[in-house]
Amino acid sequence: MSVLITGGAGFIGANFVLDWVANTDEKIINLDKLTYAGNMASLASLQNNPQHVFVQGDIGDDKLLPKLLAEHQPRAVLNFAAESHVDRSIHGPGDFIETNIVGTFRLLESVRGYWQALASEAQQQFRFLHVSTDEVYGSLSPQDPAFSENNKYEPNSPYSASKAASDHLVRAWHHTYGLPVLTTNCSNNYGPLHFPEKLIPLMIVNALAGKPLPVYGDGMQVRDWLYVKDHCSAIRRVLEGGQLGETYNVGGWNEKPNIEIVNTVCALLDEMRPRSDGQSYATQITYVKDRPGHDRRYAIDARKLEKELGWKPAETFETGIRKTVAWYLDNAEWVANVQSGAYREWVTKQYKA
């Protein structure tokens, strides 16, 4: 038996692959395009491990996908592949349309052809699990209840609009063709192997380098934070027991404003890797112009997942963020390797004061 994962060299995907190999004996076929955010160094521990088969390729490649599916006969396909950075989607939405919408469509069609050709029992056991985001639901005011699976879609960025479209395609392929799908919508992930363009790793990397810690606007944008390994365990649980055609919201029950996250990171670095001048890393915080259309608040109501499938996060924010900061301090070589010239140019352009 095997499963096929797309986007398995990215942040969440790589964590999922590592946890899959650690928790099961089942082979995992890993298809990743290896864009700037895909990093084979994240999977270095699996080199020469026959349980992990890596293939470089695009989910939109309608010649490669049928070949891979026919060769490996997976019992499930898990779609992590996505362009996922809101800021990049504002500057260049085309890649997001191409990967998140067109790519998902082509992947669904390849999977549908494979699934329809399976024997009856294999058809019934097969699953297509689509990994999405809470950003499809739009923005919440401070008094609004957290997003449930019944919230209407109100995406506000090119990224979230492209993910919303992909969710709708997955739903339609289930209702029209009977494809056995599951969808998860998660809150902000954090943890090991996170590409340092996102808030938490960017703060850690910049702090250690003595650079400004750029905070958008007033820093009071609120997000629900989910430790990545908790997210991975939730996906395994949904794959195992989720109701076909259903959506499951995955959250960490950790609503916090961005500035609180930044101050927490600074306090942990003050404790674990103090500055040589005795000053706090918080002195490096710099407020920069807010990005266009910046959603004010996201929050996930994950009660359905807990009630129906018995899942809840193992980490609190306090335990998860301490593990995260420690991982970055212990893995300076990984961080240095992912910070190419293109990455540095992006950060300079994006976070101008």
Radius of gyration of the chain (CA): 20
State pLDDT tens for residues 240-264. 999 999 999 999 999 999 999 999 9
Per-residue confidence (pLDDT) for residue 353, from 0 to 100: 43
Q: How confident is the model at residue 39 (pLDDT cuts 50, 70, 90)?
A: confident
Per-residue confidence (pLDDT) for residue 104, from 0 to 100: 98
Per-residue confidence (pLDDT) for residue 343, from 0 to 100: 46
Phi and psi, residue 65, nearest 5°: -60, -50
From CA 270, how far away is CA 281, in angstroms rounded? 7
The CA dihedral of 238, 300, 316, 189, to the nearest 10 degrees, is 70
Tokens of 214: 């750029």
8 A C-beta contact, residue 292 and residue 158 = no
Q: How confident is the model at residue 285 (pLDDT cuts 50, 70, 90)?
A: very high
Q: How confident is the model at residue 345 (pLDDT cuts 50, 70, 90)?
A: low
Per-residue confidence (pLDDT) for residue 338, from 0 to 100: 81
Q: How confident is the model at residue 83 (pLDDT cuts 50, 70, 90)?
A: confident
Domains of the chain, first to last: 2-190+226-253+294-313 (3.40.50.720)
From CA 35, how far away is CA 103, in angstroms rounded? 14
Q: Which residues contact 104 (CB under 8 A, 6 or more apart)?
A: 59, 79, 130, 165, 166, 169, 170
Catalytically annotated residues: 134-135, 159
DSSP labels, 277-295: TS--GGGGEEEEPPPTT--
Average pLDDT on 284-294 reads: 90
Average pLDDT on 316-330 reads: 98
Per-residue confidence (pLDDT) for residue 85, from 0 to 100: 64
CA distances from 22 to 42, 45, 52, 95, 301 (A): 15, 11, 11, 33, 29
Q: Which residues contact 71 (CB under 8 A, 6 or more apart)?
A: none
Residue 209 has pLDDT above 50, yes or no: yes
The alpha helices in the chain, defined as continuous H runs, are 11-23, 64-72, 86-91, 93-96, 104-116, 120-125, 158-177, 199-208, 228-241, 258-272, 303-309, 317-330, 332-338, 341-350
8 A C-beta contact, residue 182 and residue 250 = no
Per-residue confidence (pLDDT) for residue 337, from 0 to 100: 81
Per-residue confidence (pLDDT) for residue 340, from 0 to 100: 66
Q: How confident is the model at residue 40 (pLDDT cuts 50, 70, 90)?
A: confident
